[in-house]
Structure 1
Amino acid sequence: MGIFKQSTNDALAASARIAAAEGRTVFTAQIISEIGHVNFSGEIEKLGRGIEAVEAQGWKLDTVNTLKVDKMTGDRPLFVCVFRRHVW
Structure 2
Amino acid sequence: MGIFKDAKANTASADAQKAAQAGQTVFVARFNYPATHHGLSGQIADWSVQIQAVESAGWRVEHFSVAADTKGRPEAYVMFRRH
Tell me the TM-score normalised to structure 2 length.
Answer: 0.89
- Give the C-alpha shift of residue 76 in structure 1: 2.0
- Give the C-alpha shift of residue 37 in structure 1: 4.4
1:84 aligns with 2:66: no
Aligned residues: 82
For the aligned residues, what is the CA RMSD? 1.3
Letter in 2 for 1:30: R
1:32 aligns with 2:29: no
Task: Tell me the equivalent position of 1:6.
Answer: 6
CA–CA distance in structure 2, aligned partners of residues 37 and 57 of structure 1? 29
- Give the C-alpha shift of residue 32 in structure 1: 1.0
SS of the equivalent of 1:42 reads: coil
Task: Could you tell me which runs of 5 or more consecutive residues in structure 1 were left unpaired when the two chains were aligned.
Answer: none
Letter in 2 for 1:42: G
CA contact (8 A) 1:37 1:44 kept: no
Letter in 2 for 1:65: S
CA–CA distance in structure 2, aligned partners of residues 45 and 18 of structure 1? 24
- Give the C-alpha shift of residue 70 in structure 1: 3.1
Q: Larger radius of gyration, structure 1 or 2? A: 1
CA–CA distance in structure 2, aligned partners of residues 15 and 65 of structure 1? 19
SS of the equivalent of 2:19 reads: helix
